[in-house]
Amino acid sequence: MNTITAAITAVGAYVPDFVLSNKVLETMVDTNDEWITTRTGIKERRILQDPDKGTSFLAIKAAQDLIAKANIDPLEIDMIIMATATADMPVASTGVYVATEIGATNAFAYDLQAACSSFLYGMSTAAAYVQSGRYKKVLLIGADKMSSIVDYTDRATCIIFGDGAGAVLFEPNYEGLGLQDEYLRSDGVGRDFLKIPAGGSLIPTTLATVQENRHNIIQDGKTVFKYAVTNMADASELILKRNNLTNEDVNWLVPHQANKRIIDATASRMNLEDSKVLMNIERYGNTTSATLPLVLSDFEHLFKKGDNVIFAAFGGGFTWGSIYIKWAYDKK
């Protein structure tokens, strides 16, 4: 075959050492382990405690893990897409800094922000660059230091989010493996339901916005949950129908790790047995842009060449979608 498809050929990941458990959260806000576990499926999350380290630190570690495991020369990387909702700073791309720090000095880099769908959108973008024939090695990193934008007196959000990073390498494939189809959507109706109110061009930072605590993430949980359940499930079901796949044809579902109930609803719509649904939300919580690659890293040993893998995500904005990939390698 001469047709180029874009396949994932390597995976890397990193999570901080510090574990913020539900038991610890019980001492910080009015909540308890049973309540959190029942409603979210989360038991603990990782936190990057060093105040001098940002999202770039997590991203660099994940990229270095991939480079070491795949035994590739960073100079061979053509481009880097940095999927994140928590860039180190508003101006000066985090991805550019990461590229330099990992020695990928022949690559161009930029940031991509679509909230919790950032990595999913990044998969589409990375694959398109490879399929164009212009680039051979595209590194996609998903990383977020969510603890930097979480108010730890707000029990509605502080129980959900954690810090982490994951990375995948996209390369050309000539066997028909890799990205097969995608269904990506967005709807601005979600703008007010999941956001950081201040700090942007609409409401610039002032002493008042800081004093009013308007620089942390807020969400209307019930509304976000309703949209997430419907849209993630719809997108995943559509991908199956469009590609004539049955539940038996799907080997793995890699869903965004925001809430176990959302994941269960998506799997139910696809009529998938539990063993095909990959979850690590219990240990990491919602790491936003890092959830999908962290799942890949944790379960990479299960994937076989030719496996049908369905990815699904939903994020603020709103942004959502599903991607169908044929896995390209057996882990050595």
Concerning whether 286 is annotated as a catalytic residue, the answer is yes
The answer, yes or no, to whether the previous bond of 225 is cis (omega within 30 of 0) is no
22, 231, 259, 286: the catalytic one is 286
Tokens of 112: 């991509």
φ, ψ at 302 (rounded to 5°): -85, -25
Other Cβ atoms less than 10 A from the Cβ of 58: the count is 30
Tell me the per-residue pLDDT of 230-256, one tens digit each, with 9 for 90 and over. 999 999 999 999 999 999 999 999 999
Secondary structure letter of residue 41 according to DSSP? -
Give the integer Cα–Cα distance in Å for 16 and 55.
Answer: 11
Tell me the per-residue pLDDT of 10-60, one tens digit each, with 9 for 90 and over. 999 999 999 999 999 999 999 999 999 999 999 999 999 999 999 999 999
The pTM assigned to this predicted structure is 0.97
pLDDT of 332? 79
Concerning whether 251 is annotated as a catalytic residue, the answer is no
Concerning whether 301 is annotated as a catalytic residue, the answer is no
116, 216, 259, 308: the catalytic one is 116
Answer yes or no: is pLDDT of 1 > 70.
no
Give the burial string for 73-89 (b: 16+ CB within 10 Å, else e): ebeebbbbbbbbbbbbe
22, 158, 231, 256: the catalytic one is 256
Tell me the per-residue pLDDT of 47-82, one tens digit each, with 9 for 90 and over. 999 999 999 999 999 999 999 999 999 999 999 999
